[in-house]
Amino acid sequence: MPLLINSFRANVQLAALTSILFGILGVVSWTPGSFYANYSEDVYLIIHTVSEMICLATGISIFIIVWYGWPQTQNSRDLVLAMIFLAVSLLDGAHLLSYPGMPAFITANSENKAAIFWIISRLLVSAGVLAALYIPKRSKNAVFHPLYLVTLTTVVTTGIIALVLLFEHSLPPMIPPGQGQTAEKLALEYTAMVLNLLALYMYGLRNPSQQSVFLLRVGLVFNIVAGMAFILHNNTYDSFNLIGHVYKILFYLCILRSLLQTSVLRPYLRISRLNQALRSMVTKNMSLYQETKDSERILQQAFIQLGASLASKHDLDGMLQQVVVATGTVFQCDHVYLALVENNNLKIVAYISSFKPPEKLLPDKSFMGKVFLEKKPVVVDNIESFPEKILEALKQAGLKSMVGAPIRHNGNVIGVLAIFSRREKEFTQHDAEFLSVFSHQAGEAIKNARTYETTVESLAELSFLYGIVKDVAVQQSPAAILAKVSEKLFNLFSANGAIGFIMHYRDDGLHAEPVYATGFEQKEINHLQRIFSDGKTAWPWSGLSSMDDNTTSENEQGLITMSVLLSKRLNILPLLANDKLQGLIVLGWNDPTQEIPQGKELILSTIARQTAIGLERAYLYAHFQAMALTDPLTKLANRRQFEAVLGREISRAVNYQRPLSLIMLDIDFFKKVNDTWGHLAGDIILQKMGAMIKDKFRSTDVSARYGGEEFAVVLPETCLAEAIELAETFRKVVETTHFEADNHDISVTISLGVATFENCTNWEDPKTELVDAADQALYRAKQQGRNRVEFYQSPDCPIMNS
């Protein structure tokens, strides 16, 4: 809707401008006594010279702007317009020099001679602006090379000027002496106006609200009305001729502003926006990096301080207070409470807060009691949802949300660690799981009051968990993440063996791949891999129990303990994220009576969750990375990956002095396929063509979709003769293949271009010139009838018989 409104507004403005400009001509025509005048020859010669010099300078400026903007824009349409105005400027110069009163321009000057140059210029600019509309903006045709076009334009325009100078009297007269404008001149003026009207309409169909298009259309309106002024003039030196020249100047200036938009301002704005985006991204990344570093520093310091406190202190109150302080530091929260069970009530023994809580809490009348009764981490998004549990102290403090985790000792819940916030929905389930680590440390602090060794062990667990979280946080492959975690668990529990399995989801079920193994024989690894790859996606597998009757599990998603043939004890840790199995860690002991010590379920589940989340994130990163390098329709490499592979293979070919060939192929008459059978059929043919390229070429070759219906195949270690043979073989396969699409049997052919980079090839930029050479060969195959293979023969290499 906004586009329609802008288009309507632009057309209304053009209509208003046209009415004003024609109105000016009408006023001059209807009131000749007031506004119409004939100027003296000397005065008008000065006016005419100034106006034509302005037009000439503007036309040259248009050419210069587009010429120097070409390397950034590569806009073939603008380049053609620039050449048109270069030619028109030369013709305007010839018209100016041929005007009566000016020194003789090679031959005697006359109104007819000047008029001939004038009408040629008018027709050229009108037809040229219209023709430019049908030129692609990004044409790869060699015709649109700037040097070629400027040479052609200069030669042709110079030839036209010479033709008029030499054969003026053989050409149809435009303004014979003393007779005024001829019918031929008027007909040509009307022709130019019709061309301008047609261009005005056609450009209006192409995004009329765009600033550059609008300016061009405004210029066309000025040119149309200028033509009418030149038709109406009765005398070479009258007001109509003067108004026409003014309108002509405005036409040139509008074209100049339009091309300034496309050749200078738009690339500059694009670069400016990109620069701004890059600056914003760098600032954001620096901020995120600093936040991560700060969080890592705070977390590390909190763990260090907590560990040091638990290792050095032996009084229970001091250790629990340190747990509360560390929790508040890590979560950056001012309201942390720790309560222990005492006579079936909860007694707050350590806290940090701006208000003093009650000494005792009833389990069924408080939020911390809710955590104690449910015996699991609890997140409350809005405490007002539980009015029966709101204490007066909570209302006074303005607390709105809460997360709590139970404190366990020897498997029993003996207390609660809770965090409150003044904002609703402040905490997530991930916070609850992380808080569980601190509540676990509170239980360990209680245990440490009885034994110093337990505190040391608790610190080791925290350090280990921090190392796991840090390893998982670093962006690396899923295999590397799982291998590191498996190795750390193997060392932590001093197991005799460990295996890390990554799970792959395929059409036929779940498949396990070992990425880390130590202390197991290969047959044992294979045996476990077969069990975990039984084609099922449910956990646990029924096949586990068939290995031995001595199999137990903590829960459906927890640690599984089992014996294999009564000779080795196994602990299997599943890694699940969003109920999806990402991997398995198997720890083994040669003594069947050994296993992971009791009481490690919480830290193991935390490790499992963090590792599973890290694996899931790594999979997503790898997936999106593959999407960025793969064409979604054909599943072949896209243009970006093709450029990278070609650059790498060029370097290898140079280093090892081996040949490298490139095949560029294009489906013949593909537009006809789309027009006849529809774009869906075209997509099906592109998909099948991509599959055929991948299947028929060698596994060492790299195939890519180069763009549209054009494909490219990089052939390492392949000379020109071998590449031609491969191309011809594939051409025949395609020629005999029938593509089925929407119940239609469609046959297509392809044209192929082959080029080879060898030791004898003397190229300064092998990558670019190899692609250009193959593209030239493909173009030659198209020109010579299609459905054929053409190759590029380097002049520096021995000539190969075709």
What would the two tokens of residue 497 be? 């063996």
Strand partners, 552: 561
**Strand pairing class (568-577; 738-741):** unpaired
The CA angle 546-548-552, to the nearest 5 degrees, is 100
Burial of 700 from C-beta contacts in 10 A (0-12 / 13-18 / 19+): exposed
Q: How far is CA 792 from CA 69, 318, 767, in A?
A: 32, 83, 15
CA distance 712 to 636: 10
CA distance 636 to 306: 54
CA distance 64 to 619: 52
ω before 267 within 30° of 0 (cis)?
A: no
| 427 neighbors 371 (Cβ within 8 angstroms) | no
**Amino acid (one-letter) located at 509:** G
In sequence order, the 6+-apart residues with CB closer than 8 A to the CB of 681 are 673, 674, 741, 742, 744, 746
738 phi, psi to nearest 5 deg: -110, 125
| 499 neighbors 514 (Cβ within 8 angstroms) | yes
| 471 neighbors 296 (Cβ within 8 angstroms) | no
Positions of E strands within 613-747: 660-667, 702-707, 710-716, 738-741, 744-747
**Amino acid (one-letter) located at 94:** A
The CA angle 596-602-605, to the nearest 5 degrees, is 85
In sequence order, the 6+-apart residues with CB closer than 8 A to the CB of 787 are 668, 731, 735, 749, 750, 751
Burial of 121 from C-beta contacts in 10 A (0-12 / 13-18 / 19+): buried
Helix (H) / strand (E) containing 470 = helix 452-473
**Which residues does the annotation mark as catalytic?**
709
3-class DSSP state of 506: strand
CA distance 379 to 371: 9
Q: How far is CA 646 from CA 53, 66, 697, in A?
A: 52, 32, 17
Report DSSP state, residue 388: G
Report DSSP state, residue 234: S
CA distance 778 to 771: 10
Torsion of Cα atoms, 97 then 100 then 106 then 107, to 10°? 150
CA distance 737 to 30: 74
Residue 503: closest CA among 583, 438, 579, 564? 583
Cβ atoms within 10 Å of 52's Cβ, excluding its own: 22
CA distance 320 to 340: 10
Q: What are the helix (H) ranges across 629-669?
A: 639-656
CA distance 749 to 395: 79
3-class DSSP state of 763: coil
* DSSP state string for 517-552: EESS-HHHHHHHHHHHTSS--SSS-GGGTTT-S-EE
